[in-house]
Amino acid sequence: MEVAGKVVLITGASSGIGMASARLFAQKGAKLALAARSVEKLEQFARELPEAIAVPTDMRDEAAVRRMVAQTQEHYKRIDVLINNAGQAMYAPIEKVDIDTYRSVFELNVVSVLVAMQAAIPIMRAQGGGVIINISSGTSKRPPERYGTNNPVGPYTSTKYALNAITLIGRQELATDNISLGVVYPGLTATNLFDNLAQGRAPAATPGGAPPVASAESVAENILEAVETQAAEVYADILKKELFSSSTNRA
């Protein structure tokens, strides 16, 4: 899909990967709807872009997520692309994870995405098609033995496994409606993710030293690739190098 002139709704758009994606899609000529909780920051950012509206939304509020989609459709009369980027990390072992916190993270990382998709799919079907891109995590693609007591990502990664399944199975369900679902896997990215953890501390460095970190702008390029190619899965460049070079070395 060429994004020029298309209506693109991006969640988590007030910082990090979401903000970088909004800038990139604006440069490509897209019309944007930007969703996040931070009202003033979001509205200021929308004013900086050629054609964008701010849609302040608490993604953990089901009714608010449905209003977000409805407001975008009401303003632009269509929605061509939905990018579900909003999410939150946590680092806690399975034994000690706080259940209420886990529930909250699951609501944001999985349930809010499902609600947004349910609201957008009928709109896309009626207009003849669309693209939905869900932003996962490289933790869901690394082998489990990479993790342990120094980097306890089990509860967080489980939310991304669920997101992957919803996306890839949903892709099959909606193929005949010309609605393409895809998942993007970022690696470690230079955002404020570790400043806003739901529980725990940033993961410990690996024995080989600090891992390479990608820019939010490079991940935005991968998201654009996912929209343009409508591929089922797109790996951030930094993660692709890590996973596939390791596989080659092991072979």
Task: Tell me which residues are annotated as active site.
Answer: 156
The answer to whether 52 touches 22, Cβ cutoff 8 Å, is yes
The answer to whether 17 touches 85, Cβ cutoff 8 Å, is yes
d(CA 187, CA 175) in angstroms, rounded, equals 28
Quote the longest CA-to-CA distance of the chain.
53
What backbone torsions phi and psi does residue 234 show, to the nearest 5 degrees?
-130, 125
Helix extents (H) in the chain: 16-27, 39-48, 62-76, 99-106, 112-127, 154-174, 216-229, 237-250
